[in-house]
């Protein structure tokens, strides 16, 4: 079983959460260039190693938070609450 540390609920089984993808900055669609928007949409990194990502506690407090996860081993380190 893989546990994720929700900052509000504590460690819970990963099945309670929804994966929110890599934590990257979303450009403002109104002002960004097509090229930057395309990179944001399609050309994200796919790293092997530690990475920061967003998770949503859908079967719990229903809040987002960031987690550091090693994508090769799925080891996680507590992250912080996202806004």
Q: Using CB under 8 A as the criterion, which residues of the chain lie in contact with another protein when the complex forms?
A: 1-2, 14-15, 18-19, 21, 38-39, 41-46, 48, 71-74
What is the nearest approach in angstroms of another protein to the Cβ of residue 58?
A: 11
Min dist CB 11 to another protein, Å, is: 17
- Give strand ranges (E) for the chain: 3-6, 10-13, 18-22, 50-56, 64-70, 76-77
Whether the Cβ atoms of residue 71 and residue 28 lie closer than 8 Å to each other: no
Choose the binding region for Zn ion from 3-11, 17-25, 31-39, 45-53 (rule: CB under 5 A). 3-11
61 is a contact residue toward Zn ion (CB under 5 A): yes
Separation between Cα atoms, residue 41 and residue 23, nearest integer Å: 13
């Amino acid at each position: 079983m893989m546990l994720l540390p929700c900052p509000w609920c504590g460690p819970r089984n990963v099945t309670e959460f929804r994966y929110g993808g890599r934590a990257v900055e979303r450009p403002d669609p109104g002002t960004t260039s097509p090229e930057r928007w395309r990179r944001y949409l399609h050309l994200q990194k796919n790293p092997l190693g530690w990475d920061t990502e967003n998770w949503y506690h859908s079967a719990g407090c229903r809040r987002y938070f960031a987690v550091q996860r090693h994508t090769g081993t799925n080891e996680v380190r507590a992250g912080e609450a996202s806004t």
